[in-house]
Amino acid sequence: MSKITTAIIDYKLSNLKSVKAACDYVGLNAFITSDFKKVLQADSIILPGVGSFKEAMKNLKELDLDKSIIENINKKKYFLGICLGMQLLFTKSEEFGNAKGLNLIEGEVVKFKSKKKFPTPIPHVGWNNIKFIKNNNICDGLESISQMYFVHSYYAKPKKKNVILSETKYCNINFCSSVSKQNIFAFQFHPEKSGEFGLKVYKNYLNIIQNDKNTF
């Protein structure tokens, strides 16, 4: 078990048990907390989540967790975002009207559009291919095209393409399925529900923290 501590942030919309189990499996010393002070003291952060972007931001702000996330990232501590936890990094979301995000990555979160002639099932649920479009230690040991598990109705559109780590095609839409920016890694899919390949993401995250804490 790593001595490096990782805070799994509980903001009352999170899929916590499976994330904690994945951390335990790879030896990542993680604990679940809603206490912003404990988040600030941790060496790294995991922000999981399912549900509404707007409600998530409301809860983060009420618990002062938005400030602790931004402060930790600005201090070059590592961050792993999962599903809604990835979307919250962006500037805004159109879900239930425009809502402001953490604005740590410029861009917006938009809903899959369904056309009458070619209906798009929403939400996007199940296994799908992800295609890595740049190299990063977070995807070591993964195939250039891997299958991961998704559950979402909205997807992120980064303003700058250089933050896009992987893309996925759903119906006729190519969307950003993961991002990396310096000490930030985030995935629209659920690595903890994606079998062996997904667990490699958590193992790689641990290795990055242990081996190269301040170099990206």
Q: Give me the pLDDT at residue 171, please.
A: 84
Residue 78 near residue 186 (C-beta atoms within 8 A): no
* Confidence band of 109 (pLDDT split at 50, 70, 90): very high
Select which of 83, 95, 139, 176 is catalytic: 83
Closest C-alpha to 181, from 138, 149, 141: 138
Q: Give me the pLDDT at residue 58, please.
A: 95
Select which of 23, 152, 176, 192 is catalytic: 192
Domain boundaries, the chain: 5-211
Q: Is-catalytic flag, 192?
A: yes
Domain boundaries 5-211, corresponding CATH code: 3.40.50.880
Q: And the tokens for 136? A: 């990063």
Q: Give me the pLDDT at residue 216, please.
A: 39
Section 32-61 average pLDDT = 95
Section 123-142 average pLDDT = 92
**pLDDT for 174-193, tens place per residue?**
999 999 999 999 999 999 99
Phi, psi at residue 147, to the nearest 5°?
-100, 135
Q: Give me the pLDDT at residue 113, please.
A: 84
Q: Is-catalytic flag, 124?
A: no
Select which of 23, 95, 139, 190 is catalytic: 190
**pLDDT for 37-46, tens place per residue?**
999 999 999 9
The answer, yes or no, to whether residue 116 has pLDDT greater than 80, is: no
